[in-house]
Structure 1
Amino acid sequence: MAQNGRLPRDMSLLRLQHEHITHDLWEGRERVLRPRRAGVWILNNQDILDPRVINLMHQAGFGHAVYIPDMDVNHFLISSLLERWRSETHTFHLPHGETTVTLEDVAVLLGLPIDGDVVTGPTTVQDIFATFHEHLGVIPPPTVIRGNSIRVSWLNSTFQQLPPNANNEVIAQYARAYILTLIGSILRPDTSAARVHVMYLLRLADLNVVRNYSWGSAVRACLYRCLAHGIHLRQENIGGCMILLQCWAWERITTIAPQLQPLSDQEVADGDGFPVCRRWMNVTHRINPASISVTEFRLRFDQLRTRQFLWRPYIRQEVSRLIVVDIPSVSRATVPIICFATVEIHQAYRVMRQFGLRQNIPPEPVNLDQVHRDDLRGRNDRDWVGHHHHWITIWNDRENRIVQGTPFSGNGHLRDETPYMQWYINHTIRYISPSTESSDDEYDMSQQPSQPASQPYTGHVGSSPDFIHHPQPFFGQSPMGQG
């Protein structure tokens, strides 16, 4: 059953196929990933959190993140999604085209700021105990410290309800502790979800400037790196924000989403629907995680019909009315996304339909093989700002790298005979299961999704000519990324 007859004619795009999980699946080797996530006290006690701390977290850009639901993650769904991830393009390859988790998804689903400075800087301190005492007001026991990281469980148990007589300094310390706990357990957990690095606490030192960072792009960069690790058969656990990935899939793929009870007008007015991932706690019928195997999820993705995938889920009235923040245009910029040692690419030009634009044949993706070798292991003293200067410079030019194009006239889906789909068919793996065939028989190119005139979110469909700002001429390979 080797290769299963599913490889494309042109393998130039899938240059990492030899180490991709599909290579092993077709040889009969299956696996189930185990997403890791620690329980978080603040997410389970949102109603009793002190408003003084919440106000500070809002000022820092994390006020919405404290309402991310502490939901279960379906291991089988995540495992089957990872079979579709291609590190070469930073996208999922589904039967009808490429798609990915964009900066828009992070802003809408998690409520994190996506515009601002990159999250980077020093990753080591002279005295970690003094650093925690300075910023959290407590000296942690040596048993919870390892290297430059601290156990999330200690943060979780030490910083719960704010003392009623707390002064402003203590309030700020609790805000930092809450944010640090969210980062280590929900937003960018490692494969153990047990520890969080002190480098994040250094960025939280001055809560007045924390909002100036693009925390959303940092979370997404870490997710992309974890997805890249997850394509390997030997990988058993996976880090990164799996709540983001699961809710992203539920918003877009109707055949795998639980049934929802719509929020009432009063609940919407009270802000109970934002960040949008919160709405997935209001389900009327859950899919039993044990009832659908990886094989079944795989088959559902293979048999995905055009009406079952939504390119623009957030313009639907039931979702758009929940969005209470403005989504900046950087959400569709083709730029590097950076978090300390991690550099990935937000390849917006490959998923133009997610921004309501016609999809053209994309240029060759940026090769990040050398950059992917960078991590914190043995490099805690490295100057990441200088090391990634090339990529940071491109991020700082993000306003000039926003994808433009012609709005699509229907639902965005393209027939197999169109130029883009012909290119796509010849360059990627559309189907993974043994017995799946193309379903090029259900297209709705004439109907535009309904969008009420009064809805608060409309996306960013431009009216410019059919032109794309492609990053290839100015990305290149930086000397900083070669080490």
Structure 2
Amino acid sequence: MAEKGEVLKWLHLRCHEVHGKKMPYDERYTQYIKKTGLLPFVHLVSRSTPHMNPCAITALVDRWRPETHSFHLPCGEMTVTLQDVSMILALPIKGEPVCRNKASDGWREAMRDLIGNAPTTEKMSASAPYSWIQKNFKKCPEGAEDEVVEMYARAYLWYVVSRVLFSDGTGSNASFMWLQLFAGWEHNLSWGIAALAYLYRQLDDACCKTGKGASIGGCMLLLSIWSWLRLPVGRPIEMRRNDWNDHRDPLRFPTAAYIWDNTEPFHGESKECYMRYIGQLDALTPEKVTWEPYGDPGSIARHILFRLNPKCLEEAHLWWMTCPLICFYAVEYHLPDRVMRQFGLFQETLPPWKDTRIELHELNKIRQKKEKNWPIRHRHYISKFKAIIRRIEDPKTVLVPLQPFDSEAFSRYLCWLRTVSRLYIKPPAFAPVDVEDGIYLDDEDMAKLDYNRRTREGRNPDPTRELRFVREEVSRVLSDAELALQSGTESTLRVFAERTKNWARGLCALLGCRTIEVTSPTRPTPTSSYEHNEDEDEGGGEDEVDGDGEDDEGGDEDEDEDEGGDEDEDEGEGDGEDDEGEDEGEEEVLTLLFARGLCG
């Protein structure tokens, strides 16, 4: 969108709270929910969820690239991985893919069989409004029979999963297909895989939306906490965490999400905040990112100051697998090879390419309304997913050791990424012509520059655009310095030094510096007796004096030396020219080193 000159409108988050009086949790549901493997997740979201920031999420969504399933940032690629699904939500990764026959004929009768009730509204799709679920299943009757409690537990789980994990663009209905998954209280579904696939698909769609009422679904709790743990952009103020009642059950211990259990509500004018977050992401360097919030590979979660749910680490051996992620119609690829820095591991300069298949992205429930049997449609990917799990867990499989993080390799990767991707949204504040070749703009001319005019008028002033301009200019000068040093000729070095002086003068003026006159440096005077004696030896004009203060013998020799003084002076002049050339070379190297450091 930035390439077209368009700005993404901030998105409406289709996420919902499930705690509170509208749909309270009943301890009688626990025995059923535990069978599904969802108890850690349900206990997390049923007690409280933090306030979210739609402007920060939107600024992040604008960096999403569907072809790599990652956010492209100046600090490198980043994405939500299976590690985050485990650590934040404690959802199971192994199991049968969440991909069932979606035939909805007779869905009302089927719904009555599962929860004892169904909406009566005519011409309604296979779903139920959240308000209808709240009205009919808010509170399970006291002393209800087990069959009734089971139906209420099923309705509650349907409500929670639909609102938190798989919220869609409507934001008002729970699809019947999620309720079907709880018919037999199956314990072997890969909920973590489904949640991540659905989130990826929602990001694929949302990053292309331009309408005024554009929205995004999926698990915004997962995306928000993932961002807060790693990025300083849009991070809320952390408040005192609420008490956590684990009922003495390890499956109800908190996950890493408890770190952000309670946050201050988002405040601020949406447009202004959104534009500010875009600029902050433009200025994001690797040093500003918390790459491993859970700890390094050898000590995952040891620094977390509360008892972590055991399900968070149970499937850590599957975090690095490249595999298809499946959720009904959606098939997306998990590509951890592109974000190995997040795991504290070696990042290849050219990550292995995995075709995410354009035709897969075109599969959705709107375009394929007539498609019902998704297990048949996706049988290839289902088989592939299961085979990958079997291979990883097979004791006979020899796994290749993972290399630790290497900063030099990561720097090479960043240089490569800058050549193949768009990492910045906002343009530089100024154009290179404003500072190059000694062009100096006076105050009146600088006031006419577009960036200064917009800033003066209060239209999105953003200092990060100035930072980008300086970064790109210094990088350009760095390249010129490399070429000048390679030539090695005095004339080339002089030309470069003069151009660099004029460039620096123009840059200082653009950035508001009013002291732009250049003071010519003088040769330094000796500061030590050793240097002073060296100068005397080189001059050769001083007579040596003996201990009595009288001249030594050999005055004629001294006279001869004096007569040869002109030759010495000539030699000294020659030496001075050589020294000047050497000094320019040294200055050239210093300029190059300075530019490299500033660019970094």
Q: How far is 1:179 from its partner?
A: 1.5
SS of structure 2 residue aligned to 1:314: coil
In 1, the alpha carbon distance for the partners of 2:403 and 2:305 equals 19
What is the match of residue 421 of structure 2? Answer: 428
Return the match for 1:302 from 257, 266, 282.
282
SS of structure 2 residue aligned to 1:146: coil
Letter in 2 for 1:223: L
What is the match of residue 137 of structure 2? Answer: 159
SS of structure 1 residue aligned to 2:99: coil
Contact 2:74–2:282 under 8 Å retained in 1: yes
Q: How far is 1:47 from its partner?
A: 11
SS of structure 1 residue aligned to 2:333: strand
Return the match for 2:255 from 275, 278, 281.
275
Runs (5+) with no aligned partner, structure 1: 1-20, 442-483
Percent identity of paired positions between Structure 1 and Structure 2: 28
Contact 1:414–1:421 under 8 Å retained in 2: no
Structure 1 position 168 matched with structure 2 position 158? no
What is the TM-score when the length of structure 2 is the normalising length? 0.63
What is the match of residue 104 of structure 1? Answer: 83
Contact 1:132–1:140 under 8 Å retained in 2: no
Q: How far is 1:132 from its partner?
A: 0.9
Deviations 1:421-466 (A, max 9, x none): 222121112222222435999xxxxxxxxxxxxxxxxxxxxxxxxx
Structure 1 position 117 matched with structure 2 position 96? yes
What is the match of residue 323 of structure 1? Answer: 308
SS of structure 2 residue aligned to 1:395: helix
Structure 1 position 137 matched with structure 2 position 116? yes
In 2, the alpha carbon distance for the partners of 1:201 and 1:266 equals 29
What is the match of residue 35 of structure 2? Answer: 59
What is the match of residue 77 of structure 1? Answer: 56
Structure 1 segment 185-334 matched on structure 2, within 5 A: 185-207=163-185, 209=186, 211-235=187-211, 236-261=214-239, 274-283=254-263, 287-290=266-269, 293-315=273-295, 317=302, 319=304, 321-324=306-309, 325=311, 326-328=313-315, 329-334=317-322
Against the structure 1 CA distance between its residues 379 and 226, is the aligned structure 2 distance closer, same or farther, given a 3 Å change threshold? same
Return the match for 1:50 from 8, 22, 26.
26
Q: How far is 1:221 from its partner?
A: 0.8
Deviations 1:165-199 (A, max 9, x none): 12222222122111111122111111111112212
Against the structure 1 CA distance between its residues 158 and 308, is the aligned structure 2 distance closer, same or farther, given a 3 Å change threshold? farther
In 2, the alpha carbon distance for the partners of 1:320 and 1:214 equals 29
Contact 1:116–1:213 under 8 Å retained in 2: yes
In 2, the alpha carbon distance for the partners of 1:367 and 1:178 equals 35
Against the structure 1 CA distance between its residues 37 and 91, is the aligned structure 2 distance closer, same or farther, given a 3 Å change threshold? same
Contact 1:123–1:198 under 8 Å retained in 2: no
Return the match for 1:364 from 353, 367, 378.
353
Contact 1:119–1:215 under 8 Å retained in 2: yes
Against the structure 1 CA distance between its residues 379 and 48, is the aligned structure 2 distance closer, same or farther, given a 3 Å change threshold? closer
In 1, the alpha carbon distance for the partners of 2:87 and 2:65 equals 24
Return the match for 1:408 from 404, 407, 414.
404
In 2, the alpha carbon distance for the partners of 1:111 and 1:160 equals 26
In 1, the alpha carbon distance for the partners of 2:341 and 2:181 equals 35
Letter in 2 for 1:115: K
What is the TM-score when the length of structure 1 is the normalising length? 0.77
Q: How far is 1:200 from its partner?
A: 1.6
In 1, the alpha carbon distance for the partners of 2:177 and 2:68 equals 29
In 1, the alpha carbon distance for the partners of 2:357 and 2:258 equals 34
Against the structure 1 CA distance between its residues 429 and 56, is the aligned structure 2 distance closer, same or farther, given a 3 Å change threshold? same
Structure 1 position 384 matched with structure 2 position 374? yes
Contact 1:62–1:179 under 8 Å retained in 2: no
Deviations 1:242-289 (A, max 9, x none): 121111100111343223356599878978872332432333x55525
SS of structure 2 residue aligned to 1:379: coil
In 1, the alpha carbon distance for the partners of 2:221 and 2:244 equals 26
Against the structure 1 CA distance between its residues 119 and 48, is the aligned structure 2 distance closer, same or farther, given a 3 Å change threshold? closer
Deviations 1:197-256 (A, max 9, x none): 21222221001x2x2001111111111111011111425111111121111100111343
Runs (5+) with no aligned partner, structure 2: 296-300, 394-398, 428-464, 476-600
Contact 1:122–1:381 under 8 Å retained in 2: no
Moved more, 349-358 or 308-317: 308-317
Q: CA RMSD in A?
A: 3.0
RCO higher in structure (CA 8 A, sep ≥6):
1
Structure 1 position 177 matched with structure 2 position 155? yes
Against the structure 1 CA distance between its residues 269 and 166, is the aligned structure 2 distance closer, same or farther, given a 3 Å change threshold? closer
In 1, the alpha carbon distance for the partners of 2:131 and 2:175 equals 13
Moved more, 354-363 or 266-275: 266-275
Against the structure 1 CA distance between its residues 173 and 267, is the aligned structure 2 distance closer, same or farther, given a 3 Å change threshold? closer
Moved more, 95-104 or 55-64: 55-64
